[in-house]
Structures are given as C-alpha cells and as structure tokens.
Structure 1
Amino acid sequence: MKIGIFGGSFDPIHKGHIEIANESIKVLRLDKLYFVPVYRNPFKSKNSYANWEDRVKMIEDVKPDKSEISLFEIKRKGISYTIDTVSYFKNKFPNDEIYLILGSDNLDKLHKWREIENISKSVKIVIFKRSKKINKENIKKFNCILLNNRIFESSSTEVKFGNFKNLFPQTLEYIGKNFLYILDILNNTTDAKLNKHCRFTASLAAEYAKHLGYDAKIAWFSGLVHDLTKKWTIEIHREFLIANNLDESKYPDYKLHQTTCSLWLEKYYKVNNPEIVRAISVHTSLDLEMGTLDKIVFMADKLCQGRKWEGIQKIRELAFQDFDLAFKKVVEHIKQFNLNKTSVSEEQLNIYDYWISKY
C-alpha cells in the first residue's frame, strides 16, 4: 500500500489543504492519506491553536475520499516532531510505502528538523508548492519529490484577519457556531484602545448575564464583537451596506457601525444566533423593543472599565441591585450627553423617552 502523511495545524483547514490532499492522492496513487493535526508545532510553539476537538471536527467535515484523521500527535501532546510521527507510521505500516507531504515553505528550514536524515531515509518526502520560490538545494539533499501543483493563495492566517473566502461553507458555519478565532480577529483588526474596550465590555456583559440568569458565553461573545467595525470610515460602512443590497440612505451615521457589524457577523462570520445579531444591531441606537441580551450589551458597553462620567460608579453598583433601574439611568445619561453634543433625531428621542418612562 501507499500511505500519505499530511501534517499541519489545520487551524482551520481550508480549500488549499483539500486541494493538496486530492492532488497527492491522485499523483502519488495513494491508497490512504492521513491528516495528522499537530498538538504544537516546534517552529510555532508560542502560537495558540483552536482546541484540537474543533480542528479535528472541521477536518472531518471536508476530508476527501481515501483519507482519514490520525490523532497520534494530538494524543501524545507536547511539541510535535516529525521524526516521532514518521516512526509511528513506519511501525504501523512496516511493509508499505510512506510519503511525507510538506509545503515548500518548509524547505528553507528542512535541514534544521530533528533527525531529518533519518526521516528522508525512512519515507519519501513530497513537496507541494506554496510559492514560486523553491529551495532546490534541500530538495536535492533530501531526495524530495516536487509536486507540480497549482499554487494556491489559501492560508489559515487570513481567517484570523476575518477573511473567509478560502473556507468551505461547512467550515465557516462551524467557526461561527462555536465563536472560533474571534479573539484573533479582534486583535488583528482593531487598535489597542478599541481592543481593550471590547474586552472590558465582554467581561462585564458576562457578569451581567450570570446575574440575570442568561448565557454568559453568548453575552461575552456579544460584548467582545459589538464594535468590530467601529473604526471603518463612513465611506466603507456605506459601501459595505450597498454591497450587501441595503439602501445606505436609510441609515444615519450613528447607526452605521452597529448595522455593519451585525451584518458582518450574520453574513460573513456566520453567527447562527439571531439574538446576538439583534443585540449588536441596536447597541448604539437602542430600540422600542429590547430583549435581555440587547440590554446586557448596551449596559456593558456604557458601564465597562475605562468609561468615565459623573455618577457612573453608583450606576455600576445599582446594575447588580436593580438592572432595569440602572438601565433607565444610563439611558437618561446618554440622552443628555447626546443633546449636549449634537442634534438628536425625533426617532431617537422617542426611544430614549420610552425607556425613561417605562421604569
């Protein structure tokens, strides 16, 4: 039999991975290809990965025919060295041909790998092209096979910047359902000040949720992402609305970031919880109907650590004694703040007055 070993973090798996898997199965005439997700890469030991259960599930959802998943590196834990994996497969398939499938981006450091000489003698190293730059010296030195594959642009890193174009639909749906990579996206798309505010909002939202008997994880996530698009320019907000078939003229400036953020979460990140989308969509403007999560996000945004305005500490304390009364006090403050700062629409005044009179 011909056995392929395809290792990597697969964090997450994307179309490029599957393309290489299919190409390897076809060109090398493999009987079986094993995806081997790492527990920790020796060259990326400081990186944090999604939980292995999540990474494995995402592989399971898209793996092609003639492929399986090996949990060898996951189960042994620690830093994953290729020599250990190769030895495991050699012992498991002593009479079979084994091919180790690597990206060309590994070639420059291949001579630094632990026991690379033994690896190259034990298995056939197969290199797939990641770019036009190929280290031919190491290919020759370690007797590698170079695949003539199409160079793909896919990268797991781009997901952590909020770019999901190279993911399969089922992978993206899994990510949105389980709130994966959201901290990476926050870190990579916001400045330090906004990043800190979002984290403070998330923390307070989770506290409010526990106090009110609501799901703390959902509240935390909602607080974390509520301002993801806030730093977009007015032009980008409006272009985004147009690109998504919305009439941008119907949205005043103060509603833009709550609208684009909720839209991005629903259509691009694939959050499948309408309460989250709803809470983000009204966290600045409020609405005449406000559910528990809507109020939690609004309150956490306005009362979290870092906010400073007269009387805020008393209202922070009140929120854990009488949440609705504290909500009223915050609305009163926001109304007065906006009246002092700029003109306020009749619609907005009606919303403020409704909630002020309600409690």
Structure 2
Amino acid sequence: MKICLFGGSFNPIHKGHIKIAKEAINFLNLDKLIFIPCQKNPFKKNNYYVSGEQRIEMINLVLENKMEISDFEIKRQGFSYTIDTIKYFKNKYPNDELFFIIGSDNLTKLSKWKNIDQIVRMVKFVVFKRSNKINKTNIKKYNCLLINNQIYNESSTEFLNGNFEVLSEKILHYIGKEKIYFENILKNILDEKRYLHSLHARNFAIELAKVNNYDVNKAAFAALVHDIAKNIANNNKEKARNIIKKYEPQRSQIEDYKLHQEIGYIILKHIFNVEEEIAHAVRVHTSLDINLNILDKIVYLADKLCQGRKYPGIQKTREIALKNIDQGLKLVINQTILFNKEKGIIFTKEQEEIYEKWTK
C-alpha cells in the first residue's frame, strides 16, 4: 500500500488542510492518508492548543475518502518529534511505501529536525507549496517530491484573525458548541483596551451569575464575546451593514449604535451556531430590549460595571447590582440616560420605551 502521513497541530483543521490531503491522494495515488495531530509542536512551544481530543473530534468531522486519523502523538503526550512518529508507523506498516507531507516553508528547517538523516531513509517527503519561493537545494538534498499545488491562503492564523470562512461550517459549529478559541480570536481582532475590557466583563459576569444562581459558564462566555464585532462596526460601517444584509436583511436599517451588537449576534448565531440565549444577550447589550432575561441583564451590567469602568459612585453601584440585579439595572440605566443627555444624544422612541420600562 501507499500511505501518506500528514502531521500537524490542526489547531483547528481548516479547508486548506483538506485541499492539501486531496492533492496528495491524487498526486501519489495513495491507498490512504493519515492525519496525525501532535500533542505539542517543538517549534511552537508558546502556542495555545485546545485539547487533543477536541482536535481529533474536529478532524473526524471533515474526513473524506481515503482519509483516516491517528491519535498516536496525542496519546504519547509531551513534544512531538517526527522521528518517533515515523518509527511507529514504519513498524506498523513494514512492507508499505510511506510518504510524509510537509509545507515548503519547512524545507529550510529540515536540517534542524531530530534524526533527519534517519527519517529520509524511512519515508519520502512530499512538499506542498506554501508560496512560490521554494528551497530547491533541500528538495534535492532530502530527495523530496514537490506537489505543484495552488497556493492556499487558508490557515489557523487567518481563522484567529477573524477570517472564519477558512473553516468548514461543521468545524465552526463545533467551536461554537465547545466555546473554544474565542479568547484568542478576541486578542487578535480587538485593540488591547477592548480586549482587556472583555476579560474584565467576563470576570464581573461570573460574580453576577453566582449571586443570581445562573449558569456561570454561559454568563462568562456571553460577557467575554459581547464586543466581538466592535472593531468591525467602528472601522467599516459599510462592511458592517453588508454583513447584516446578508444574514439579517430585515434588520439592515438599524441605527449605527446597534451595529456592533447586531453583528456580534450574527457571528455567534449564524456563523458559530451558538445558542440563542447567549447570542441574544450580545444583541441587546448596548440598547437593551423590552423583554430581558437574566443573562441579558448580567451581560449589560458586566459591560457597564466591570473593572476599568470609572465614574463617581461606580463601586457603590457594583455593590447594589450584586445584591439585587434589578435595582442595579435600574440604577445603571438612569446613569446612562443622564450621561447620554449631557452629551446631547436624542433617544429614539423605541429606546425611550425600553428605558421607561426598566426604570419604573
């Protein structure tokens, strides 16, 4: 049999990985290709990894014909060295022809790989192009095969930078269900001040959830991601409105101050398939609504009262909110009304009705 090994962090697996796997299967006429997620990459010691089990589950969601998965490196724990993996599969398939996929960006690093000379005697490297700049010296030195593939722009880094289209819908929904990667996404797409605000909001939401006997994990997550679309809405209103037209066309005429909460709802609900209760809390965390549930109130107050917010009497307001969430809500809304009126902001009729209901 002709077997190709495809190692990597797959953190998470993206569309580019699957395209490369299909290219290799066709190029080499493989009997099977085996994805081998690593426990830790020795060249990426400081990277954030979700659990091996979660990465395996995500890979399983998108496997296609002739593709398999091995948990060998995950079970080994520690850093993953290619030589150990190659020896394992050479022993498992002693009479089969083994190939090993690497990206062209790894060609210059091959001399640093542990036992590289031994590796090339056991497997043949198959190189996929990451760019048009190829180290031909090492291609020849290590007897590599080069796949003449298109340059794929999908990457895990692109995903963490907010380009969610690089992942399949199944993977995005899994991430939404497991609530993974979001803190890293926020760190990449928000400015530092807004990112820290999100962390502080999460912390205060946890306090509010505990005293109100509400699900702490739900509250923490909803508060963490409440501003996930802040920079999109602030930096490009045309892009923001186009997103709304695509997913929620009936709401495309909403006011500018609602843009970031609406796009936040869209990202969570339509892209990551997060439960409606959480998405709704993000959707109303600035404007509120005529109907509010406990999570809506928690996220609103976490945004307004968390560490980093500073105005006269805020500590007293925090204490009141932690004792009685509805009294805290009423107090914060009255403070917000006063603050906005001093800035000359005129409320819409809808906003006036909302404020009137919750300040009675």
TM-score relative to the length of structure 2: 0.94
Match of 1:207 in 2: 207
Give the equivalent residue in structure 2 for 1:254: 257
User: Following TM superposition, by how much is the alpha carbon of 1:28 offset from its aligned partner in structure 2, in angstroms?
Assistant: 1.6
Contact 2:13 / 2:55 at 8 angstroms: preserved in 1? yes
Q: Which runs of 5+ in 2 are unaligned?
A: none
Per the alignment, in what secondary structure is the counterpart of residue 250 of structure 1?
coil
Q: Which amino acid aligns with 1:146?
A: L
CA distance in 2, matches of 1:273, 1:85: 40
Are the counterparts in 1 of residues 205 and 298 from structure 2 also a CA contact under 8 Å? yes
Report the alpha carbon displacement of residue 334 of structure 1 after superposing the two structures with TM. 1.2
Match of 2:266 in 1: 263
One-letter code aligned to 1:145: L
Q: For the residues of structure 2 that align with 1:155 and 1:13, how far apart are their CA atoms?
A: 8
Runs of 4 or more consecutive aligned structure 1 residues displaced over 4 Å after TM superposition: none
Alpha-carbon deviation of 1:226? 1.0
Within 5 Å, which residues of 2 pair with 1:272-311?
Answer: 272-311=274-313
CA distance in 2, matches of 1:330, 1:104: 56
Deviates more, 1:166-175 or 1:56-65: 166-175
Q: Could you tell me how far 1:154 is from its partner in structure 2?
A: 1.4
Residues 127-153 of structure 1: per-residue CA shift (max 9 Å, x gap):
111211111111111111112222222
Residue equivalent to 2:106? 106
Aligned-pair CA distance for 1:238: 4.3
- In 2, distance between residues paired with 1:14 and 1:312? 45
Partner of 2:23: 23
- Asked if 2 retains the 8 angstrom alpha-carbon contact of 1:9 and 1:38, the reply is yes
Please show how residues 20-169 of structure 1 align to structure 2 within 5 Å: 20-169=20-169
* Contact preservation (8 Å) 2:227, 2:261: yes
**Contact 2:207 2:322 (8 Å CA) reproduced:** no
- Inter-partner Cα distance in structure 2 for 1:232 and 1:338: 23
Q: Which amino acid aligns with 1:190?
A: L
SS of residue in 1 equivalent to 2:359? helix
Contact 1:258–1:284 (Cα < 8 Å) also in 2: yes
Q: Secondary structure at the match of 2:236?
A: helix
Three-state SS of the structure 2 residue aligned to 1:305 is coil
Q: Is the 8 A contact 2:211 2:323 kept in 1?
A: no
Measure how far apart 1:264 and its partner are: 2.6
8 Å contact from structure 1 (residues 241, 248) kept in 2: no
Residue 31 to residue 250, structure 1, CA distance change in 2 (3 Å): closer
1:234 CA drift (Å): 5.3
Question: What is the total number of aligned residue pairs between the two structures?
Answer: 356
* 1:247 Cα offset (Å): 6.5
8 Å Cα contact 2:202-2:302 kept in structure 1: yes
Q: Indicate yes or no: 2:231 matched with 1:231.
A: yes
CA distance in 2 between counterparts of 1:271 and 1:348 reads: 28
Matched residue SS, 1:272:
coil
Distance in 2 between the 1:23 and 1:343 partners? 58
Is the 1:227–1:261 Cα contact (8 Å) retained in structure 2?
yes
Query: For residues 235 and 304 of structure 1, do their structure 2 counterparts lie closer, same or farther at Cα, with a shift above 3 Å needed?
Result: closer
1:147-199 per-position Cα deviation (integer Å, ceiling 9, x unaligned)? 22222221111010111222222111112222222112111111111111111
* Alignment TM-score, normalising by the size of structure 1: 0.94
Match of 2:352 among 349, 354, 358: 349
Report the CA distance shift for 1:323/1:102 in structure 2 as closer, same or farther (over 3 A): same
Tell me if structure 2 keeps the 8 A contact 1:5–1:34.
Answer: yes
AA matched with 1:199: L
The Cα shift of 1:233 comes to 5.4
Once residues 63 and 235 of structure 1 are traced to their aligned partners in structure 2, the CA distance between those partners, rounded to angstroms, is 38
